[in-house]
Amino acid sequence: MTALRIVHTGAGLTAGACLAVSLWTGIEDRGVALAFGVLIAVGELTRWSGPQVRQAAPLGTAGSLSYALLGADAGHPTQHGAAQVVTVVLAASLLGGVPHLWSGRTPTLDHLARRVLTVGFAAVCFQPLYLGGALAGWDGPGYALLVVALLVLTALCDAVLAAALAHSRTGWPFGPQLREELRGLLGIGSAVCATGAVMALAVAVAGLWALPVFCLPLLLTQLSVRRYAAVRATYRQTIASLARATEIAGYTPAGHARRVAALSLAVGRDLGLPGPALTVLEYAALMHDIGQLSLVDPVPAGATAALPREEQRRIALLGGAVVRQTGVDAAVAVVVERQADPCADQPPAARIIRVVNAYEEKARDAGPDGPLRALEELRLATAGDYAPEVVESLARVLSGAGGGAAARQATAPERGPTV
């Protein structure tokens, strides 16, 4: 939790210092400050409250960055400094975030800390240069390139902060988290940076009327991303429903697929799998036992790990055939098919599911000492049956060193479906 404390403390000190300076010196260009404050507050009001959102408030972020890099208003130089930028952004973010604070739907403290530090970074890089006259001779493409370069640096700073906060809260490795954040910059992150740059440059020429014009495309992009996320959520729910078919038919115990999927995701994150690979891993883990629906006689308790290798392979191939018929991504079917292949020939996702499935079957009804005994059995069998690095990753996840909430969710008892 050291990184978490450092980020929150740094953001708090920055916000306090900027607020004190602004109260001492007063607010410059109040009309400009009010216009950007309203834009940021509206962006915060429309913040996305869904889970696992990389950029929750794109409009608020773009408005904040635009204000931090604003040099003129319709050709007239502005006089606000970096301290005023942070103060206005913080006040507007708090005002727009009241509904979210009240409902507790999003991690608002982390969101505000990132916003204060990234906007402060951009403002400190730009405003002293502009107010000091160092940019007086910059115009045209050179000025625009400077604004874009500062936005890129700010986006990189935000990615590092987001990865550090995620690492501190979940215990997942920092490197893969940072790679995911950097990869996310190519999506809506690039749209946010581009909109921030365009608004700052447009207001400098056309005035504040440019704000509603140039924020409209980002609003439409935000709506499109939300719809895409809703489709993805529905798609996952469909796969989860298909996976429950083995439980409803009595082939596997209740909650087995859910527990294997949650624990497999935690192990995958601990091993540093990228985002697309984690998605394939989750879907394959949910459907890893679906081949049992083709069996005439159910396997006792659905425990396939104790079956002969050829029988395991036959069930895996049957499962892959079923997955292909459902229209799910072919990569998911490949992982399901190769669960029973020799360990050295398996893709990483298949290795993870094989280990986690065996652990869940061995520890499920083995009493208080079941998890420890199951891990020991997996370690003793790693010579050819299970990948040693996956078994050790599973041990780290279960101990809390790399799994956290995901491991607790995976080992929690099944509570039944929610209608």
244-411 folds as Hypothetical protein af1432 (1.10.3210)
Compute how many other C-beta atoms are within 10 angstroms of the C-beta atom of residue 356. Answer: 30
Q: Give residue 346's pLDDT.
A: 84
Task: List, for residues 133-175, the tens digit of each pLDDT value.
Answer: 888 777 778 888 888 899 989 999 998 998 888 888 777 778 8
Structure tokens, 415: 């509570």
pLDDT classification of 405: cutoffs 50, 70, 90: very low
- Ordered by start, the domain boundaries in the chain are 2-231, 244-411
Q: Is the model more confident about 336 or about 403?
A: 336
Query: pLDDT at residue 419 above 50?
Result: no
Can you tell me the distance from the alpha carbon of 180 to that of 296, in angstroms, rounded to the nearest whole number?
44
Residue 226 has pLDDT above 80, yes or no: no
- pLDDT value, residue 105: 57
Q: Would you state the pLDDT for residue 208?
A: 87
Mean pLDDT of all residues belonging to the chain: 82
Ordered alpha helix ranges (H), 271-343: 275-286, 309-326, 330-337
Q: Which of 161, 151, 71, 53 is nearest to 115 (CA)?
A: 161
378/9 Cα distance (integer angstroms)? 43
Model's pTM, two decimal places?
0.74
Is the confidence at residue 73, as pLDDT, over 60? yes
- How much of the chain exceeds pLDDT 90, in percent? 15
As a whole number of angstroms, the distance between CA 224 and CA 285 comes to 29
Q: Residue range 73-83: average pLDDT?
A: 88
Distance CA 196, CA 202 (A): 10
pLDDT digits (tens, 9 = 90+) for 14-52: 999 999 999 999 898 899 999 999 999 988 887 765 545
How far apart are alpha carbons 404 and 396 in whole angstroms? 10
